[in-house]
Amino acid sequence: MDPQDLPSHVAFPAAAAAPCPACGGSDTHSFYRLQGIPVHSCVLLEDADRAKAFPTGDLELAACAHCGFIFNQLFDPARIDYSEDYVETQGCSGTFRSFLEGTIQGLLKGRECANQLMVEIGCGRGDFLEQLCRAADARGIGIDPSSTAGRVDLRAGRGLSFLQESYSKKHLALDARAIFCRHTLEHLPKVQDLVALVFKHLESRSDNWTFFEVPDSLRILKEGAFWDVYYEHCSYFSEASLGRIFESAGFVIKDLDLVYGRQYLHLLAQPGTCAADQACKDPAQMLQAVQIFRGTCCATIARWHKLLHGHPPGTVALWGSGSKATGFLTTVGNHDRIDCVVDINPDKHGRFVAGTGHEIVAPAALKGRPIRTLIIMNPIYTDEITTDVQALGLNPQVLTL
């Protein structure tokens, strides 16, 4: 697809950008712009009209040549409201639950955590903290201004409690052995502020530790995965940029790995002094990926645009109603070809996708619909979803992003 043939709200600017919010560097350049996209990608709307009228904002990604950090320079935190209508959990999936269990087992291996305090920043509904404290026989405190932790077992481990507020200096009084933060850092425009505060919280003991999980943006750039770019994700990380932020704050990085089909970065760190040979990778790989993103993104948009255009209206369904579905729908177009979005989470059934108003339905709702093609929004769930489709007695063409 020629860039001139792209949807009108998609552009690839090349201009100097704002200073880097991670390192303060001035050598920054914008490279990807989306106009009028939903300010939330996981919100559940009660009717199609309300979903189509959901507030929108503009996004313009910029990259820092010094540290490789990528940020949305048009992000406005005042537009963000993580209410109870925001549902980001993947906990209904057996594949994801197995991943979460393995993550917790790996974190606790060789660490004595019984009766210690585990703090989670951005705990959401508290699923991870519940599993963690039960496995560690530990106490847990979840901190999140939008916490809706009403379904977890507050007796798990040595007991759980939740604070519906933002993590701040006042929480330094909590005697935490470890601090966890999963899929929260990418929602913050000033990432170094949070990391510095976590370091201050843990620096009194060298055996204290922290664990962060964030999406990996290098994959997004290399694959042209436009569906993984959303308004509320204002910060994007590679191994190099994430490691640099933590080392600059005073942490020693113990592990920094790609996981979950290379979609996420896992970082484990402790307070200390970083040795010269532990310095993080150069950001060159990230910057090279930024340079090729225009081509990879145009190619992926063209591929999906052509595929959808080749279908009669209402004969395509997406499986997975999370951020990827919102990003896909609001970027690629051809909405009338897509009949609905399938999800196994019963909390989402009968709700509608922000921006386009597509209905979210249960898998059984596919029966009787003229679906020729099913597009899986996350390839890591392919085996699980294929099994579910076969159990329904359906045989559509199955594709993955």
* Residue 127 CB neighbours (<10 A): 18
34 assigned to some structural domain: no
Q: What angle do CA 184, 186, 190 make, to 5 degrees?
A: 100
Question: At which of 221, 250, 272 does a domain end?
Answer: 272
Query: Does 106 share its domain with 239?
Result: yes
Q: Which of 95, 42, 138, 39 is nearest to 259 (CA)?
A: 95
Query: Does 242 share its domain with 371?
Result: no
Give 276's pLDDT tier (boundaries 50, 70, 90): very low
Mean pLDDT for the stretch of residues 2-22: 87
Query: Does 146 share its domain with 267?
Result: yes
- What confidence score (pLDDT) does residue 277 get? 47
168, amino acid identity: S
* Residue 274 CB neighbours (<10 A): 17
Mean pLDDT for the stretch of residues 141-155: 81
- What confidence score (pLDDT) does residue 20 get? 96
The predicted-structure confidence for 170-185, as pLDDT tens digits, reads as follows 999 999 999 999 999 9
Question: How many domains does the chain contain in total?
Answer: 2
- pTM, to two decimals: 0.93
Q: What angle do CA 328, 333, 338 make, to 5 degrees?
A: 80
192 assigned to some structural domain: yes
67 assigned to some structural domain: no
242 assigned to some structural domain: yes
Query: Does 209 share its domain with 355?
Result: no
pLDDT above 80 for 87: no
**Between 6 and 206, the higher pLDDT residue:** 206
225's tokens? 């995965």
The predicted-structure confidence for 277-313, as pLDDT tens digits, reads as follows 444 567 899 999 999 999 999 999 999 999 999 999 9
Instruction: Give the residue numbers spanning the domain of 177.
Output: 94-272
CB 210 within 8 A of CB 250: no
pLDDT above 70 for 91: no
